A = this chain, B = another copy of it.
Amino acid sequence: MNQTLPPATERHFEDYPVGAVFDLGSFSLSEDEMLGFARRYDPQTMHTDPASAAQGPFGGLIASGWHTVAALMPLIVHNFLPHGGLVSPGIDELRWLLPVRPDETLRAQGTVTEARRSRSRPDRGLVRSFVEVLNEAGEPVMTMRPMNFIRCRPESLAPGD
């Protein structure tokens, strides 16, 4: 069952219990935006040249996988992470499973897979999650397993933390 997070300014480590599933919202990529991103960052013809892509294995233009994950990030920033949060140490796994085409509506959800209070820095915890991006048919087009450090609620800190 989907759970609801507090507003971004009030999110803390305690709001991310293992097993919680959060709806992250939806997004889409226009052909123009796909072309602009790919020509700068991922110049492969399947992403940059509609005519060449039409002759390729996908029969048309597909988004750079890096564009899909970049365009997902505003949903994660607004609908998952605390405002003014800490940096992420990284991603454990990123998978591109199906092509993403112009103007497809993609929706995303995040499931908390681990939530561990830091021993060395008890003002924060490490949250691991599994994020899925689904197409209109409900099929996963991309998944990833990010890690995020998230501050604990001030009232949960022991004296001296």
Question: Chain A interface (Cβ within 8 Å of chain B)?
Answer: 37, 40-46, 62, 64-66, 69-71, 73-74, 77-78, 81, 84-85, 87-96, 99
User: Do A89 and B93 touch (CB < 8 A)?
Assistant: no
Question: In whole angstroms, how far apart are the Cα atoms of A96 and B41 in the complex?
Answer: 18
Instruction: Determine the chain B residues whose CB is within 8 A of the CB of A91 once the complex forms.
Output: 91, 93-94
Question: In whole angstroms, how far apart are the Cα atoms of A57 and B32 in the complex?
Answer: 37
User: Do A45 and B93 touch (CB < 8 A)?
Assistant: no
Question: In whole angstroms, how far apart are the Cα atoms of A42 and B85 in the complex?
Answer: 12
User: Do A66 and B77 touch (CB < 8 A)?
Assistant: no
Closest 4 CB pairs of A and B: A90-B95, A41-B70, A91-B94, A42-B73
